[in-house]
Structure 1
Amino acid sequence: MIAAAGLDRLVGDPRWCPHPVVVMGWWIQRLRRLAEAWAGDQPGLLRLAGLSITLLLVVGSGLAGWALEQLTRLQPAATPLLLIALASALAGRSLEQAVRQVLRQLPAQSDPADTDLAPARQALSWIVGRETAALSGGEIVRAAAETASENAVDGLFAPLFWMAVGAACWSASGLQAPGPLALAWGFKAASTLDSMLGYRRGRLRWLGTAGARLDDLLVWLPCRLVALSLPLVAGQGARGCWRQWRLARRDGAPDPSPNAGLSQATYAHATGVQLGGVNRYGSGEKAKPLLAAGQPLPTAASVERMLRLTGRLELLWLVPIAGLGLAPLLPR
């Protein structure tokens, strides 16, 4: 797991390498077409179809990971393949690259012309769901900050958490039970379902319910562990951790997502910037709660600090994982 985290930070997600999430997305698209053809516009049937898609994809992804784990157990020469597969479940470097690409496209002048913002808006449109065509420079930076904070949990810490749970199960069962890759790929399947079907519009209001709820459930505990531990790497100390935990819970509570508001509020308080406000989507405007209200608006420098804090927190999380790996080697 530690080597996989290092590999993720070293190479990220190369475009030339087939990615498991792409395979998951391919299956989701085809299963969605079959489900909609069968269920039509009937909410009950759409919910049943969505539940079936969720079970098929999550269980199938978990079984694929378990099969690769067992292959590695029987054929140690396959260990590099397991390492690459584990790294594919982490998105630390790819998140950094995507957010920094947006920041690099921002013009240097403080009052840029509308055309000067077009490259940054285009780069941002690849990583957010909101409309970007009319965003100002400040709104682009805020969107980048909110993406960096929310997706740090979804793309890095949640899969790392489920890897650790799987590693503990694998170790306790003598390498027989589903392990780190099985649980990580199962989580990535739920996360991909949420990102592709978890929208409250059209048939997806019912078809995407099961995947979205499962993703919320699987991210719930990792998100709260991030909220408790991020202030440590931000230099807040034990008292500061408890204070920032309470502030992040208070600010994130009005958000309809049980996790997105908390994760963004945690990063907002850790870096001392205000997040939230009105976002524009294809279905209209949506007012998001203000997080760390009264603090300065985010800048490119504060977004960079968020990315650095994510890297430090990942190192902190790897410490107990190292202890888990070393425990069997200690004298009894």
Structure 2
Amino acid sequence: MGDPRWCPHPVVVMGWWISMLRRGAEAWAGTRAWKLRLAGGLITLVLVGGSGLAGWAVEQLAPTPLLVVALASALAGRSLEQAVVGVLKALPNSEQPVQNQAGQALQPARQALAWIVGRDTADLDAPEILRALAETASENGVDGLFAPLFWMLLGAGLWNLNPAWPGPLALTWGFKAASTLDSMLGYRRGRLRWLGTAGARLDDLLVWLPCRLVAMSLPLAAGQPGRCLGVLAAARRDGAADPSPNAGLSQAAYAHVIGVRLGGSNSYGGQIRQKPLLAAGLPAPDQAAVLQMLQLNRRLELLWLTAAAAGAFITKTLS
């Protein structure tokens, strides 16, 4: 459905709370590591718990159309696709080989890319812009679409057992709160190396299973059912060197299914960080590969929803 424009997005509201709580925590804790860790844990508890309770209240009190809109706002598939396609459209001479694109002509694409990736984009050439797009399409396909969809479907299952229990929106908003905490505080620099620890670890934990389910089911969406276990094994192997337990694995799964090479040197705040090579030996991603990743996201989302609907129908029939 895309993000609703007529009201503040729930993630924006979460961001307001995080910013306010962070200011209070840093004023109280100063530079003392143990106080920052304690404050980070309390922020995580308040935000995740409060978001889950807010979702539960909407489930119990709001009319169905509002619940549908709230659920749709938690799935970032369309907004991710629009952002990635926007960068592709900003690349000059898209029909020409990317090696011929350089200089000031790349500035619109670099600026658009800066909105959706954490790395420095000011000096990227066209092949590096395409690599960044492929990596964000794969990593954020898991973080922004399939991980919240997993918790949404799990909540729907709980709701089916007992409508009074927390259901799809409660679990999904709780996950989105952890994800937003990781995005805003989960950095290993300054005070955030302690203040953001709890949120980052919780996000890693909540994404762990959905990430591996994506790696195992992605070949099905690509019409390669015989590769499910092989892609999972290859993604675990290639992604093991990444400091994140999920980012490298999710990118590696897409790289092996699409048949492209990801990873390499990235600049963050002027500092070079070497990311592990994923699917080494394969060609670098081009525009067709990036678009294929977005198409796979749509197909896999439909596959997950179909499987969940079939499971619900079978369960209801047997009961």
Q: Same fold (TM over 0.5)?
A: yes
Which residue pairs with 1:32 in the alignment? 22
Native 8 Å contact 1:168 1:324 kept in 2:
no
Structure 1 residues 131-180: Cα deviation after superposition (integer angstroms, max 9, x where no partner): 0000011000000000000000000000010011111111112x011000
Residue 246 of structure 1: how far off its partner (Å) = 1.3
Alignment-mate amino acid for residue 143 of structure 1: A
Residue 235 of structure 1: how far off its partner (Å) = 1.9
Residue 190 of structure 1: how far off its partner (Å) = 0.2
Equivalents in 2 of 1:79, 1:71: separation in Å? 9
Native 8 Å contact 2:102 2:125 kept in 1:
no
Alignment-mate amino acid for residue 67 of structure 2: L
Equivalents in 1 of 2:313, 2:205: separation in Å? 30
Structure 1 residues 79-121: Cα deviation after superposition (integer angstroms, max 9, x where no partner): 1010100001101100100011111111114312310000000
Native 8 Å contact 2:119 2:267 kept in 1:
yes
Alignment-mate amino acid for residue 86 of structure 1: L
Unaligned runs of 5+ in 1: 1-7, 73-77
Equivalents in 1 of 2:230, 2:208: separation in Å? 20
The normalised TM-score by structure 1 is 0.93
Alignment-mate amino acid for residue 210 of structure 2: P
Which residue pairs with 1:309 in the alignment? 296
Which residue pairs with 2:189 in the alignment? 201
Residue 320 of structure 1: how far off its partner (Å) = 2.3
Query: 3-state SS of the aligned residue for 1:330?
Result: helix
Q: How does 1:105-120 map to 2 (within 5 A)?
A: 105-108=90-93, 109-110=96-97, 111-120=100-109
Which residue pairs with 1:287 in the alignment? 274
Residue 324 of structure 1: how far off its partner (Å) = 4.2
Which residue pairs with 1:176 in the alignment? 164
Unaligned runs of 5+ in 2: none
Equivalents in 2 of 1:270, 1:136: separation in Å? 25
Alignment-mate amino acid for residue 195 of structure 2: L
Equivalents in 2 of 1:113, 1:291: separation in Å? 26
Residue 15 of structure 1: how far off its partner (Å) = 3.6
Query: 3-state SS of the aligned residue for 2:75?
Result: coil
Equivalents in 2 of 1:318, 1:202: separation in Å? 42
Moved over 6 A (4+): none
Which residue pairs with 2:217 in the alignment? 229
Which residue pairs with 1:132 in the alignment? 121
Equivalents in 2 of 1:113, 1:278: separation in Å? 19
Is 1:150 the equivalent of 2:135? no
Residue 125 of structure 1: how far off its partner (Å) = 0.2
How many pairs were matched up? 315
Query: 3-state SS of the aligned residue for 2:274?
Result: strand
